[in-house]
Amino acid sequence: MSKARQSTIRASLVHLALVAYTLVALFPVFLTLVNSFKSKQAIFSQPLRLPTPSTFSLVGYETVMKQGDFLTYFQNSTIVTVVSIFLVLLFGAMAAFALAEYRFRGNTLMGLYLAIGIMIPIRLGTVALLQGMVAAGLVNTLTALILVYTAQGLPLAVFILSEFMRTVSDDLKNAGRIDGLSEYAIFFRLVLPLVRPAMATVAVFTMIPIWNDLWFPLILAPSESTKTVTLGAQLFIGQFVINWNAVLSALSLAIFPVLILYVIFSRQLIRGITSGAVK
Amino acid sequence: MTDLASEQGTEAAQRRPRRWHILVFLAPAVIVYTAVMILPLAETLRQSFFNVVDGRSVFVGFSNFATLFGDPRWSADFWNALRNNFIFFLIHMAVQNPIGIALAALLSLPGLRFAAFYRTAFFLPTLLSFVIVGFIWKLILSPIWGVAPWMLDLVGLKAMFGPWLGKSGSALIVVSLVSVWQFIGIPMMLIYAALLNIPEEVIEAAEIDGITGWGQFFKIKLPLVLPAIGIISILTFVGNFNAFDLVYTMQGALAGPDKATDILGTFLYRTFFGFQLQLGDPSMGATIATIMFLIILTGVCIYLFGIQRRIRRYQF
C-alpha cells in the first residue's frame, strides 16, 4: 500500500519535471505562433493571450507576402536541400558499398580519409572555398551551395551507411552474382533497398543543418535570386525590425516546414538513433 | 581472421586485376569531397603562411600568427574571442550536457507515459534555424515587449530583470544559455538511445541486489553510458569552436555590446569577409581559420587518444 503510494508520488514528480522542461522548450515557439495572428496593439498589450476575434489579424502575413520574395526563397531552399540530400545519399551509398563490400589496397586508409570530415567542419576552409567558387564562376549560384552541402554531408553518410552495409548478408549478394548480376545491379537492386531505413536516418541528419545554414548562403550566394529562406528571413527581420507583425509572421512561416518534416521523419530518426546508427 | 580475409582479398585481386566498379563506386564521393572540402581546407591552411605585399602573394612564414598574437590591433580581439569561446564551451558543458542527461534518464524510465510527446517537445528547438531561435529570444528578453519582466514578476523576481543582452557582463552568458536551450536535444537523444540499449538483465540483476532509484542510475546506468557522454562532449566542443550563427543573429556581426559576445566564428567572419568600414583580409582570415582548425584538431585528438581509449566499454 505505502509502496504503491510512494511510486505514484515518484511518477508524478517525474512528470512534473518533464512538463516543466516541456514548457521551457515550447514556450518561445508558442509565443511566436500565437502572436503572429494578432494585431499590433494586442501583441504588446497582452503577449500571452490567445488571439480572440477582436485581436485576430493576418496583417503580418500580408506584409510578408507582399514585401519579401519568400516564395523564391522557399524554392531556393527546397532545391538546395533536396538535390544535396539526393547527391549525399547516392554518392555516399556508392562509396559506402565499395568500402564495406570489397577488399582492396588502401580500403582502411580511404575510410579514414573520408571520416576526417565528420570532425573537422567544412567552414574552416571558407577562405579558399570562396576563392575557388569565384574562379569557377559559381558565386551566387545554387550549384555552389549544393556542392558545399554535398561535401559536408558525405563523411557522416559514408560512415553510417557502410556500418549498415556490412550487415547485409553475403549469401544474398553471392546468389545474385551466381545469377549473373553485375556488381552495379547487386548494389542498386539488392543492397540499396535493404539499407533504406539507414538512408532515411542519414537524410534527416543531413537535412537539418542544410536547411538552417546561414554561413554559406551569406558568403557564397547572397544575391536576391539565390537567397535561401534562412538568409531571407534574417535580412527581412533586419529591415522590418519595428514591424513586429511582419517579423513574427516571417518567423512562423519559417518554423512550419521544419515542423512538417520532423513529423514525417521523427519515427525514422528515433529508430535510426536507437538502432545504433550514430554509435 | 583478418589475415585470412586479406589473403583472400589479394587472391581475388590477382584473379581479377582490374575491378573498375570499385573505382566507379568510390569516384563521385571522393572527387566531390576532395575538391570541395579537403583541398580548400589545405589551401586555407597554406594561405595562413602568405600575405599580400605590393599586390603579390608572398611567403611570410609565421608572421601572420605573430601579428595575430602580438600586434595590439589584432591580439586584443583575438584573445577576447578565444576567451569568450572557452566560456561559451564551459557553459555548454556545465548546463547543456547535465540537463540533457537528466532528461534522458527521466525519459528512459520504464513504463513512462507520453514519452514520445516529451521527446518531440525537447527536440523541437534543435530543429529550428538560428535565425528563428535568435530572434524569438531577443524578443522575449527585450524590455520593450516585456514578456521576460512579466514572467519574473510571477515568481517575485522582477527587480532582477535587466537588459541582459545589452550589458557586456551578462550578454555572453545569455547567448550561451540560448544556445544551450537550442541544442539540448542532441545530448538528450544520444544518451536516451544509449540508456535504451542497456539490456534488461543488467537492470534486473541490479534490482535483485537491491540497487534501485538514484543508486541504480549513478552506479549502474551512468558508467554504462560513459562512451555516449564522451561523444556528446566532443560534439559540443567541435560545435562550439565552430559556432557563428547564433551570435550573428542575436548580436550582429560586431558581436556586441563592445565585442562581449565575440567568438572565433564571428571574428573570422569579420576579418575574412569584412564588415562595414573594415575591409576583408583573406590572409588573416586564413590565419584565424588555421588556429580554429588546430584547436578543434587538438580537442579531437585528446578525445580519440586520451579519453575514448580509457573509457571502459562493456559488451552485452
- Separation in Å, CA of A219 to nearest CA in chain B: 8
Phi/psi region, residue B3 (left: phi>0; alpha: psi -120 to 50; beta: rest), is alpha
Question: What is the per-residue pLDDT for B17?
Answer: 61
Which percentage of chain B shows pLDDT scores above 70? Answer: 93
- Separation in Å, CA of A53 to nearest CA in chain B: 22
Question: What is the per-residue pLDDT for B7?
Answer: 47
Question: What is the per-residue pLDDT for B175?
Answer: 94
* CA–CA dist A215, A124 (Å, integer): 11
Of A154, A213, A258, the CB nearest to B29: A154
- Which of A119, A170, A178, A124 minimizes the C-alpha distance to A148? A124
* CA–CA dist A253, A174 (Å, integer): 51
> What confidence category does residue A273 fall into, taking pLDDT thresholds of 50, 70 and 90?
low
Question: What is the per-residue pLDDT for A251?
Answer: 80
Which of A127, A146, A260 to substitute to test the interface with B, most B CBs within 10 Å? Answer: A127
pLDDT digits (tens, 9 = 90+) for B108-166: 888 888 888 898 889 888 888 888 888 888 888 888 777 787 777 777 777 777 788 88
* CA–CA dist B144, B138 (Å, integer): 11
> What confidence category does residue A10 fall into, taking pLDDT thresholds of 50, 70 and 90?
confident
- Residues of chain B in contact with residue A237, where contact means CB-CB under 8 angstroms, are 131, 135
> What confidence category does residue A1 fall into, taking pLDDT thresholds of 50, 70 and 90?
very low
Q: What's the residue count for chain B?
A: 316
Q: Residue B160 carries which DSSP code? A: G
E-strand ranges in chain A read none
- ipTM score assigned to the predicted complex: 0.86
* CA–CA dist A174, A169 (Å, integer): 9
Question: What is the per-residue pLDDT for B2?
Answer: 44
- Taking residues A52-80, what's their average pLDDT? 83
Mean pLDDT taken over chain A: 85
pLDDT at A117 over 80: yes
* CA–CA dist B68, B249 (Å, integer): 26
Q: What kind and span of H or E run contains B52? A: strand B50-53
Long-range contact set of residues A15-18: C-beta below 8 Å, sequence gap at least 24: A15/B113, A15/B114, A17/B106, A18/B103, A18/B106, A18/B107, A18/B114, A18/B118
- Residues of chain A in contact with residue B19, where contact means CB-CB under 8 angstroms, are 102, 104
Single-letter residue type at B256? G
**Other CB atoms within 10 Å distance of the CB of residue A64:** 24
Question: What is the per-residue pLDDT for B95?
Answer: 95
pLDDT at A277 over 60: no
- Packed helices A196-212 and B115-127: angle between N→C axes, nearest 10 degrees: 50
- Taking residues A29-44, what's their average pLDDT? 84
pLDDT at B15 over 60: no
Ranking A195-209, B238-252, B295-309 by mean pLDDT, the lowest is A195-209
Spans of all domains in chain A: 2-57, 62-274
The answer to whether residue A219 neighbours chain B at the CB level (below 8 Å) is: yes
pLDDT at B44 over 90: yes
* CA–CA dist B272, B268 (Å, integer): 6
Mean pLDDT taken over chain B: 86
Interchain pair A26, B121: CB under 8 A: yes
Question: What is the per-residue pLDDT for B1?
Answer: 40
Instruction: Give the three cell numbers for residue B269.
Output: 567572419
Interchain pair B21, A152: CB under 8 A: no
pLDDT digits (tens, 9 = 90+) for A202-247: 887 788 889 888 899 999 998 888 998 888 888 887 777 777 788 8
- Separation in Å, CA of A179 to nearest CA in chain B: 18
Does residue A189 contact residue A181 with C-beta atoms inside 8 Å? Answer: yes
Interchain pair A122, B37: CB under 8 A: yes
In this structure, CATH architecture of domain B77-307: Orthogonal Bundle (1.10)
Chain A residue with CA closest to B18: the answer is A104
- Separation in Å, CA of A80 to nearest CA in chain B: 16
pLDDT digits (tens, 9 = 90+) for B150-207: 777 777 777 777 788 888 888 999 999 999 999 998 899 889 888 888 888 888 888 8
* CA–CA dist B100, B87 (Å, integer): 19
- Taking residues B82-93, what's their average pLDDT? 96
Interchain pair B132, A152: CB under 8 A: no
- Residues of chain A in contact with residue B228, where contact means CB-CB under 8 angstroms, are 279
Interchain pair B131, A22: CB under 8 A: no
CA torsion sign for B62, B66, B68, B69 is positive
Straight-line distance from the first to the last Cα atom of chain A, in angstroms, rounded to the nearest whole number: 42
- Which of A181, A103, A163 minimizes the C-alpha distance to B19? A103
pLDDT digits (tens, 9 = 90+) for A73-113: 888 998 999 999 999 999 999 999 999 999 888 899 999 99
Chain A residue with CA closest to B241: the answer is A121
Interchain pair A119, B300: CB under 8 A: yes
Does residue B145 contact residue B139 with C-beta atoms inside 8 Å? Answer: yes
Q: Cis omega before residue A121 (within 30°)?
A: no
Count Cα neighbours of B257 within 13 Å in the Cβ-side half-sphere.
11
Q: Which residues pair with A56 in a beta bridge?
A: A38
Interchain pair B132, A233: CB under 8 A: yes
- Residues of chain A in contact with residue B285, where contact means CB-CB under 8 angstroms, are 126-127
Phi/psi region, residue B114 (left: phi>0; alpha: psi -120 to 50; beta: rest), is left
Question: What is the per-residue pLDDT for A278?
Answer: 44
User: Which of A 7-26 lie inside 8 A of B, CB atoms?
Assistant: 14-15, 17-18, 21-22, 24-26
Instruction: Give the three cell numbers for residue B69.
Output: 598574437
Range with the largest mean pLDDT of A91-100, A194-203, B221-230, B301-310 = A91-100
Question: What is the per-residue pLDDT for A229?
Answer: 84
Q: Which residue has the higher pLDDT, B236 or A261?
A: B236
> What confidence category does residue B36 fall into, taking pLDDT thresholds of 50, 70 and 90?
very high
- Taking residues A57-68, what's their average pLDDT? 80
- Determine how β-strand B50-53 pairs with β-strand B56-59: antiparallel
Ranking A25-29, A205-209, B247-251 by mean pLDDT, the lowest is A205-209
The answer to whether residue B17 neighbours chain A at the CB level (below 8 Å) is: no
Q: Cis omega before residue A155 (within 30°)?
A: no
Name the phi and psi angles at B53, rounded to 5.
-120, 125
Chain B residue with CA closest to A43: the answer is B145
Torsion angle, alpha carbons of A219, A225, A229, A233, to 10:
80
DSSP letters, B53-107, are ETTEEEE-TTHHHHHHHH-HHHHHHHHHHHHHHHHHHHHIIIIIHHHHHHHHHHH
In this structure, CATH architecture of domain A62-274: Orthogonal Bundle (1.10)
- Residues of chain B in contact with residue A110, where contact means CB-CB under 8 angstroms, are 26, 30
Of A44, A122, A214, the CB nearest to B131: A214
> What confidence category does residue B13 fall into, taking pLDDT thresholds of 50, 70 and 90?
very low
The answer to whether residue A126 neighbours chain B at the CB level (below 8 Å) is: yes
Of A94, A132, A154, the CB nearest to B33: A154
- Which of B87, B138, B148 minimizes the C-alpha distance to B248? B138
Of A21, A110, A274, the CB nearest to B103: A21
- Taking residues B44-48, what's their average pLDDT? 92
Interchain pair B189, A127: CB under 8 A: no
Of B136, B268, B286, the CB nearest to A251: B136
Identify the three-state secondary structure at position B179: helix
Does residue A57 contact residue A39 with C-beta atoms inside 8 Å? Answer: yes
pTM score, whole prediction: 0.86
